[in-house]
Amino acid sequence: MLVLVNRNNYQIANSEEAIEKRTRENIRDEIPTVVGIFSAFGLVFTVSLFAWICCQRKSSKPSKTPPYKFVHVLKGVDIYPESLNSKKKFGADEKNEVKNKSAVPKNSLHLDLEKRDLNGNFPKTNLKAGSPSDLDSMTPKLSSEGGKEVVSPDSLNSSTSLTSDEKQEKLGTLFFSLEYNFEKKAFVVNIKEARGLPAMDDQSMTSDPYIKMMILPEKKHKVKTRVLRKTLDPAFDETFTFYGIPYTQIQELALHFTVLSFDRFSRDDVIGEVLIPLAGIELTNGEMLMNREITKRNVRKSSGRGELLISLCYQSTTNTLTVVVLKARHLPKSDVSGLSDPYVKVNLYHAKKRISKKKTHVKKCTPNAVFNELFVFDIPCEGLEEISVEFLVLDSERGSRNEVIGRLVLGAAAEGTGGEHWKEICDYPRRQIAKWHALCDG
């Protein structure tokens, strides 16, 4: 009887231990699941809290004017390219009609779309020479905040000159406005439109005009408008704002406008230019509307296209040609500022086919550039009989096609010093021979 009681007690104890062990295993299996659930809820809560804080900060942050040095407006569309690295940025402004200036908010854009075509151009108006009403309609006005209208003497002279000698070739008229924002220390130029441009395409008897503008004498700010297709009266309505220019410095500057016609297959055609010295122009009363007749481009040519110092060495063992662009001197003045930004493109030809090309760095604002850059070309054939090297000296123009200042060709078929230099390096391989060469028209 005692043995049976002990056995029952032992079985009860074992069953309790088994139940306790099973309970501990169940708890151990449930802990990771519970921890995972709590971690997921914690992560969701943390992300939600972070997103809420960011939204609150963004909504409470005041809007500030971007600290851009340069702002450009294109028909009221904001453009902020991130790739510019020359302290120029594009932003937004507006076009305000003079009559509706008091009714239209400052940051709004008024466009009379019913009076414009698909390019945004106004329809042509037939102006009769000497008509007083036409002169009154084209006379620029100075708009002040009080609504006072004053005729600009310079603009009146330009308007009256439209009825001058008809025998003189007409290149059209450029309309623009100038303004200085004293609060932001910003100089604002609005290129409004051009009228009466000549047709540069003989087939379609029209042009694809656009305008390049830069501030002289430093040439730091070079900008251009968009291209308007097939029109002789383009309405650009683009505003360029330059920050950080003190008002006292405005009188020392000048604006240079170049009117061009885009050509997809060759160099763009230059229609003409307008040069506006800012000395004597008063901008304290608000926006000044102006217009100027477009004149032929005044390129100040020197006695030649300049000279280029080139050093050549032919390695017959490795069949390579070493070309060193050393210096350039007496380069012509390419524009009204009198300064060029030259660089040299080197093209290697085999049997009149270009097989390689190189170029030097740009040298800023100098007619006498020092390059000292070496290029090594592999020659695909034995000897230099079918090889020639072309040197193109160009003026770097940001945002447009670069103008060719001069050209030089060295080879067996070249005339003058180019042929003599080539003959010397063929007769004396492994010897570095340098010579000055006169550039010809490109």
Q: pLDDT tens-digit profile of 175-200?
A: 999 999 998 888 999 999 999 999 98
Q: How is domain 70-293 classified at the CATH fold level? A: Immunoglobulin-like (2.60.40)
Tokens linked to 174: 């450029």
Percent of the chain at pLDDT exceeding 70: 68
Q: Which whole number is the average pLDDT over 280-309?
A: 80
- Answer whether residue 378 shows pLDDT above 70: yes
- Answer whether residue 433 shows pLDDT above 80: yes
89 φ/ψ sector (left φ>0, alpha ψ -120 to 50, else beta): beta
Q: Give domain 307-438's CATH architecture.
A: Sandwich (2.60)
- Answer whether residue 118 shows pLDDT above 90: no
- What confidence tier does 302 reach under pLDDT thresholds 50, 70, 90? very low
Determine the pLDDT at residue 392. 94
CA distance 290 to 159: 9
- How many residues does the structure list for the chain? 442
- Answer whether residue 231 shows pLDDT above 90: yes
Closest CA to 170 of 194, 198, 193: 198
Determine the pLDDT at residue 354. 93
Closest CA to 175 of 262, 337, 296, 287: 287
CA distance 68 to 89: 6
CA distance 187 to 284: 12
Determine the pLDDT at residue 442. 63
Determine the pLDDT at residue 237. 93
CB 166 within 8 A of CB 160: no
Q: Tell how far CA 49 is from the center of its chain.
A: 44
CB 405 within 8 A of CB 439: yes
Q: Of 45 and 17, which is predicted with more confidence?
A: 45
Whole-angstrom CA distances from 58 to 52, 61, 360 are 10, 5, 47
Determine the pLDDT at residue 267. 74
Determine the pLDDT at residue 312. 95
Task: Compute the mean pLDDT over every residue in the chain, rounded to the nearest whole number.
Answer: 75
- What confidence tier does 9 reach under pLDDT thresholds 50, 70, 90? low
- Answer whether residue 135 shows pLDDT above 80: no
CB 254 within 8 A of CB 217: yes
- Give strand pairing partners of 216: 254
Highest mean pLDDT among 95-109, 131-145, 261-275: 261-275
Determine the pLDDT at residue 397. 78
Q: Which whole number is the average pLDDT over 306-323?
A: 93
Determine the pLDDT at residue 151. 41
Q: Cα-flanking dihedrals φ and ψ of residue 439, to 5°?
A: -85, 145
Q: Considering only 22-26, 84-88, 204-208, 305-309, which range has the smallest mean pLDDT?
A: 84-88
Matching fold, domains 70-293 and 307-438: yes
Residue 183's CB is within 10 A of a number of other CB atoms, namely: 5
Determine the pLDDT at residue 17. 76
Determine the pLDDT at residue 261. 92
Type and span of the H or E element at 247: helix 247-250
Quick: pLDDT tens for 42-101: 888 888 888 888 887 766 555 444 444 555 555 444 333 333 334 433 333 444 443 444
Extended strands (E) in 90-216: 141-143, 149-151, 173-181, 186-195, 209-216
CB 294 within 8 A of CB 273: yes
- What confidence tier does 344 reach under pLDDT thresholds 50, 70, 90? very high
DSSP class of residue 122? Answer: P
Scored b (16 or more CB within 10 A) or e, 347-376 reads bbbeeeeeebebebebbeeebebebebebe
In angstroms, the first-to-last Cα distance of the chain is 127
DSSP-assigned letters across all residues of 355-406: EEEEE-----S-SS-EEEEEEEEE-SSSSSTTEEEEEEEEE--TTSPPEEEE
Determine the pLDDT at residue 110. 39
* Sequence ranges of the domains in the chain: 70-293, 307-438
Determine the pLDDT at residue 59. 62
Determine the pLDDT at residue 244. 86
Residue 215's CB is within 10 A of a number of other CB atoms, namely: 22
Residue found by looking up tokens 């006005």 in the block: 141
